[in-house]
A and B are shown apart, each in its own frame.
Chain A
Amino acid sequence: MKPNPFDYVRATSVDHAVELLSSAGDARLLAGGQSLMPVLNLRLGAPELVVDISRVDELRSLKLTPNLRIGAAMTQTEVANHPDVNDRWPMLVAAIEQIGHPQIRNRGTVCGSLAHNDPQAELPAVAVALEAIVIARSAQRERSVTADEFFQGTFTTSLEADELMTAVEFPEPMPGQGWSFREFSRQPGDFATAGVAAVLRPDAGSVKSRVVVFGLGNGPTRATLIEDVLSDAAGPDLEQSVVERWAATLDPSDDAHTSARSKVQHAQRLVIEAVAEAWGRMP
């Protein structure tokens, strides 16, 4: 399969990119292309204009402020190989290592994965668990959006058609934070059948947590029932009745490989394991 015809322009700056974005009826941004190119090759999408932002200098930056600010053209490999990222945001690195294969991560970008919001993708769940902030620019304005507000369901985000996601910012880790990232996939490199990103930290005698599941249909979803139970839990062991009550709220669908029932079972096991692991990593 070959893409439909389109025009291609390599943007030279963020201003240039957002100007191009609003210049055509249907323009698409190309960063790493590891999601967009299959869509074009399979003709699931046929934009008039492809705007390549992969070589915009302003977007090729990784800043520690001490928050971690990742520009839209930074590849997953570049982010995961950064020593400070590995030291302070180990969950981000653990999740990146689960994405596709080395060849995919050498092109695929962190921001691109967030903007695409594939319901089975790892990084949206990590962004919600770590309370990341998305920075978006249009020709008129720049705005920040919390990860909670950014992801709006399958392949949908709060980005407007004329907006470019310029960066994502991960806050500095909180003291005493424990984390876990776990997923099940049918073979290495596949998208997850189900996965969990969990962050726990002590907070004035209770436990604050974010337990985010993905792969079950609607993109990253917080397991608020589990989070509530954890807030005054004395240990990492979740009661089976609690996990089952939470699992009853999940509503995945069957697909060619995995039944909905099996997905829910994977999710239950992964949540139990992830909470135990994150708890164990709290000092």
Chain B
Amino acid sequence: MTDTTNPTSPARRALAPPVAEPTARHEIAVEINGETIEAEVESRLLLTDFLRDRVRLTGTHIGCEQGSCGACTVLLDDLPVRSCLMLAPQVDGRSIRTVEGLAAPDAALSPMQQAFCDHHGLQCGFCTPGFLMTLTSLAERETPVTLDDLDHHLDSSFCRCTGYVNIRAAARHALGLVEPQLVPEPMQGEG
């Protein structure tokens, strides 16, 4: 029982009405890893949640949900985008590729995945799908890729294991980029 004589006790108040669910739902048809998926989605459903909870492709990870960390990166019409910053109804009629679509149907890894394997490019693996999708788009780019381009793209994802050295080595090998050799200065004779 609430002691109504106690001035510090919370006042009884009417509950707010339940949050109104939106009436708008959308029929979408989207190509995901080559397969056409049709679904009814709520307006506010994030693309990340659509992929994970509705399509059951849980390889796309959710990190920050504000576009900073890069874990949710997918390819939209072959360009890398943050799937946490898109709504599911926005991808109607478009094509999405996720990490599940990288390996060949016979389960052979893609060259970028194989390079991550060979060079120990992952530790806990949380950031890996985002890195793989970003770097796959770089590998598929028509214009030549430089080491600067690679580093610029590596900036765009967080690896909290701080395994960037191996991620960079993996990507460098998959992209065929050679690190410039540092030539030591000749020793200066004294006197």
Residues of A within 8 A of B (CB): 1-10, 30, 33-34, 37-38, 40-42, 50, 52, 54, 77, 100-104, 106-107, 187-189
CA distance A5 to B23 in the complex (A): 9
- Cα distance A46–B46 in the bound complex, in angstroms: 15
Q: Say yes or no: A103-B80 contact (C-beta < 8 A), given A6-B43, A7-B43.
A: yes
Q: Which chain A residue has the least Cβ–Cβ distance from B23?
A: A7
Instruction: Pick 27 A–B contacts, CB within 8 A, sort by A.
Output: A1-B65, A5-B21, A5-B42, A5-B44, A7-B24, A10-B92, A33-B85, A33-B90, A34-B67, A34-B82, A37-B86, A38-B66, A41-B65, A41-B84, A42-B66, A52-B87, A54-B90, A77-B79, A103-B134, A103-B156, A104-B67, A106-B79, A106-B80, A106-B81, A187-B155, A188-B152, A189-B156
B37-70, CB < 8 A from A: 42-44, 46, 49, 65-67, 70
Contacts of A101 in B (CB 8 A): 70, 152-153, 155-156
Cβ-defined partner of A4 (8 Å) among B44, B66, B86, B89:
B44
- CB atoms of B44 and A3 under 8 A apart: yes
Cα–Cα, bound, A77→B77 (Å): 14
Are A38 and B85 in contact (CB-based, < 8 A)? yes
Contacts of A37 in B (CB 8 A): 67, 84-87
Contacts of A187 in B (CB 8 A): 155
Asked if B16 is at the interface of the complex by the 8 Å CB criterion, the answer is no
B residues near A2, Cβ cutoff 8 Å:
44, 46, 49
Pairs of residues from A and B, 9 with the lowest C-beta to C-beta distance, nearest first: A101-B156, A8-B43, A37-B85, A38-B66, A7-B24, A188-B155, A3-B44, A5-B22, A106-B79
CA A37 to CA B85, docked complex, whole Å: 5
Docked pose: A282 CA to B44 CA in angstroms: 50
Asked whether, in the complex, the Cβ of B44 is within 8 Å of the Cβ of A38, the reply is no
Contact A10 B43 (CB under 8 A): no
B45 to chain A, nearest CB (A): 9
Q: Which residue of A lies closest to B72 (CB)?
A: A103
Q: Interface residues, chain B, CB within 8 Å of chain A?
A: 19-24, 26, 42-44, 46, 49, 65-67, 70, 73, 76, 79-82, 84-87, 89-90, 92, 134, 152-153, 155-156
Enumerate chain B residues within 8 angstroms of A50, measured Cβ to Cβ: 43, 87
A-B pair number, CB within 8 angstroms: 101
Taken together as a complex, chains A and B put the C-alpha atoms of A187 and B70 apart, in Å, by 15
The CA of A194 and the CA of B26, in the complex, are separated in Å by 43
Residues in B with CB closer than 8 Å to A4 are 19, 44
Tell me, in angstroms, the Cα distance from A104 to B155 when the chains sit together.
Answer: 12
Whether the Cβ atoms of B87 and A8 lie closer than 8 Å is yes
Question: Of A1, A8, A102, A104, which one neighbours B26 at CB under 8 angstroms?
Answer: A8
Give bound CA distance, A106 to B67, whole Å.
12
**Residues on A with beta carbons closer than 8 Å to the beta carbon of B26:** 8
Q: In the complex, which residues of chain B have a beta carbon less than 8 angstroms from the beta carbon of A10?
A: 89-90, 92
> What's the least CB distance linking A275 to chain B, in Å?
27
Task: Name the contact of A8 in the complex, choosing from B19, B24, B70, B134 (C-beta under 8 A).
Answer: B24
Cβ contacts under 8 Å, B82 to chain A: 34, 103-104, 107
A5 touches B19 (CB 8 A): yes
Q: How far is the CA of A54 from the CA of B73 in the complex (A)?
A: 19
Q: How far is the CA of A77 from the CA of B76 in the complex (A)?
A: 14
Contacts of A38 in B (CB 8 A): 65-67, 85
The docked-state distance in angstroms from the alpha carbon of A10 to that of B153 is 31
Expressed in whole angstroms, the minimum distance between the Cβ of A33 and any Cβ of chain B is 5
Q: Which residues of A contact B42 (CB under 8 A)?
A: 5
For B24, the chain A residues whose CB sits under 8 A away are 7-9
Residues of B within 8 A of A52 (CB): 87, 89-90
User: For B44, B86, B89, which residue has the most chain A Cβ atoms within 10 angstroms?
Assistant: B44
Would you call B44 and A6 a contact (CB within 8 A)? yes
Instruction: Write the chain B residue with the least CB distance to A106.
Output: B79
In the complex formed, the residue of B with least CB distance to A42 is B66
How near does chain B come to A144, taking the closest CB pair, in angstroms?
A: 30
Please indicate the chain B residues that have their CB under 8 angstroms from the CB of A106 in the complex: 76, 79-81
Q: Which residues of chain A come closer than 8 Å to B153, judged between CB atoms?
A: 101-102
Q: Please state if A34 and B85 are interface contacts (CB–CB under 8 Å).
A: yes
Kindly provide the distance from the CB of B182 to the nearest chain A CB, expressed in whole angstroms.
23
